[in-house]
Amino acid sequence: MADAPLISLHGITRRFSDGTVAVAGVDLDVDPGEVVAIVGPSGSGKSTLLNVLGLLDKPSSGSIMLGGVDVSGLDDGARSDLRSADLAFVFQRAHLLPSLTVAENVGIGIEYSPDRRDTDARVGDALERCGLGPKADALARTLSGGEMQRAAIARALVRRAQLWLADEPTGNLDSAQSVLIIDELRARAADAGAALIVVTHEPDIAARLGRTVTLRDGRVVSDLGGSNRGMQSLTPPNAPARRTLGLVRALRTCATMLRARTPGARAGVVAASIAVALTVTALGLSQSAAAQVTGLFDAQRAAQVTASLSREDATIPWNVRVAEVRSFPGVTGTELWTLYQQLPVAIGDYVTGTADVVTTAATPGAASGTTIAWAPHTEHRLTSGEALVGSALARRLGLASIDAGPEITVAGQRLRVVGLLDSERTGTAAGTIFVSDDALSHLSGSLSATLFVTTVPGGARQVADVLKPLADPFGQARIDIDPVLGPEAFAGALTDSVGVSLQVLAVVAALAGLGTVVFVNLLGITSRRAELGVRRAFGARRGEIAVIVASECAARSLLGAVIGLLVGLVAILAVTITARWEPVFDLRLLSVPLAGALFFGLVGGVAPAVHAARIEPADAVRS
């Protein structure tokens, strides 16, 4: 079989899903070291045939013999292995990565080859052969069009492949550059001992090659020229070893792309950092806000003392020493309410029922948590001959409006209503009438009273401890003091109530961040279709592409998570300082970047990785 062709096509037909037949019944043999031009009008099937020859596409029918081995029925992974070992490509567009150096771009050509010995030396030699030695460390974006195409030739030359395939390699160049590039391509393929197949629509380019195959409507209509035949056997690489090497190679590629600081990589880091920063800020502020509100609420509760007084003999006057209580250190206000239960109440000449009545020496106010809606043209204080009616009782009595100063009769005393009253500290106030302490002097004493005391924050317990002897040193009444609750009494519930809303915000921020990360990563894959197509053409398997993309997403998310943590902590500090809160930094917040990296990296990288793995190299390199 010494005269067997390097690659042989028999009855190759390629029919697409829409019914289009791009190639029909093509028979073609190419010998080792042979140079072939494939020409024909647009739509004749040139590029489709080249994709079949390069194992980038599977024929619908027919057989492909490569080095005497039938490769027609190989799956995608096996075809990738063959491409990595024995095929090289030069595309119409160079598809160099602008953020990598010229040497790094050429290195992609050998990255997926099973023989990676002396990589640096081979890259340097390929660059020298293509006249790009001085440009090795230059960024690819600084090259001219001709230099970029020579770099693409060097990328093929470094592979030591047996078959080179070039798809319109001069399509974007002027005539002078086209001649230089095609001569360069032919010379370098000859140096490597490789067969060269070039698709072109330019007759003068085809004339510079040794053999011309013309296609029309997917069929070979002429085949002019030829060469001596030879034989070279191809051995597919060991698949398990490739997969092991593939993981290491994918991680190395990931590190290279991150170092290149491409716009897509920067966008991914920014998206992840914003998402983590919002999450950290929301969680941190939930703790700081809860602590702040809890402190304020508890301070308020710890500044109130309520004492209920009762006795059995109503004939004895009350002797509560309100002045002594008011002068006690830390006390900021006092009110004494004396209660008369179920006194008759009338509006005009008609008795409407009974109601509890409170007499007080001072207008109810802050000490009892009272709010009053005063009637117009009043002095905003309770004086003799006036009454304040609880809001609920006013509705029951039919006092829809007090603007005209309506009068009520309480236990025979006619009183003008000057305001409607509510109290935060006692719910019974809304159903009670309040009068000055001289309004019911004709009645016998009451049996119960309530003493309200307010203190400086945190002073309530101290006042409660001394209130009984201070207010009633002779023990004339029974005094029951409502429990004074410490700050810990409400901390849990209040922290939960305040924190839940901001924690919900944190969850929303995380989900929004995930969506943003996925969107940015998918956009990045779209912008990298050509690069990923080149990698697939040079032998990268689908799984390897998925690992590259997933690793990049995870690395960007980890970096973004660390940046997001720092930004979030600074934001928490800025907000708490501005609001004059005490900042709370829970050490558990340090776990947010790790969780964010896992969440955004793993979950956010799945869709882009799957999308990247599905890219067809034949389509991507022509984009």
User: CA 245, 248, 251: angle at the middle one, nearest 5?
Assistant: 145
Walk along the chain (623 residues) in steps of 10 and give the mean pLDDT of each run.
Answer: 77 90 92 91 89 90 88 87 87 84 89 80 88 91 88 86 87 78 84 88 86 92 68 41 53 62 70 78 69 56 84 84 92 93 85 87 89 91 93 87 88 91 85 92 86 87 90 89 64 54 69 76 80 86 84 80 82 79 67 67 79 82 66
HSE (CB half, 13 Å, CA atoms) of 140?
Answer: 22
- Give the pLDDT score at 233: 45
Q: What is the pLDDT, as a whole number, of residue 229?
A: 43
Q: Which two tokens stand for residue 404?
A: 């005209």
Joined tokens for residue 222: 């002429």
Which pLDDT value is given to residue 434? Answer: 96
User: Which amino acid makes up residue 173?
Assistant: L
Domain boundaries, the chain: 7-236, 257-296+491-620, 305-484
Residue-by-residue DSSP string for 363-411: ---GGGTEEEEEPTT--SS--TTEEEEEHHHHHHHT----TT--EEEET
Half-sphere exposure of 491 (CA within 13 A, CB side): 8
- The whole-number pLDDT of residue 270 equals 80
pLDDT of 136 reads 92
Question: Given this model, what pLDDT does residue 215 score?
Answer: 94
pLDDT for residue 226: 65
Q: Please tell me the predicted confidence (pLDDT) of residue 496.
A: 57
The rounded distance, in Å, linking the Cα atoms of 440 and 278 is 63
Tell me which H or E stretch contains 38: strand 35-39
Q: Which fold has domain 7-236?
A: Rossmann fold (3.40.50)
Helix (H) or strand (E) holding 343, with range, is strand 331-347
**pLDDT of the residue at 142:** 92
Q: What is the 3-state secondary structure (H, E, C) of 450-496?
A: EEEEEECCCCHHHHHHHHHHHHCCCCCCEEEECCCCCCHHHHHHHHH
Within 8 A by CB and 6+ apart from 157, the residues are: 88, 109, 126, 129, 130, 188, 191, 192
**What pLDDT does 458 receive?**
73
Query: In angstroms, rounded to a whole number, what is the distance separating the alpha carbons of residues 227 and 72?
Result: 25
